[in-house]
Amino acid sequence: MLAGALQAAMLPGLDKGEVQRLQTVATLARTYKDIFSDYVDYRGIEAELVELRMKYEELVKKIRNPAAN
C-alpha cells in the first residue's frame, strides 16, 4: 500500500486533494508499521518457544524413563 502511494505520488499533474489522500495513506501505513512492531515481539515469542521446547523435551525424557529420576 505504501509503495503504491509513493509511486502514485510521483505522477505529474496531481491535484491537491489527490496529494493529500496519498500523503494520508503513506502516513497511516508508516504509523501502522511502527505501532505493529511495538505489539509484536518476535524475539520474545521465539525465546518463549525455545524455553517451552526444552521443558517439553525434559518432560518427555521423564515420562519415557521414570526410573532415571
- Note the pLDDT tens digit of each residue in 26-65: 888 888 888 887 777 888 889 999 999 999 999 999 999 8
What Å distances lie between residue 27 and 11, 16, 23, 36, CA to CA? 18, 16, 6, 14
Question: Quick check: 69 pLDDT over 70?
Answer: no
CA distances from 7 to 19, 21, 37, 58 (A): 12, 13, 25, 54
If you search the block for the grid coordinates 504509523, which residue do you land on? Answer: 31
Identify the H or E element spanning 18.
helix 16-39
* pLDDT score of 42: 82
Compute how many other C-beta atoms are within 10 angstroms of the C-beta atom of residue 45: 10
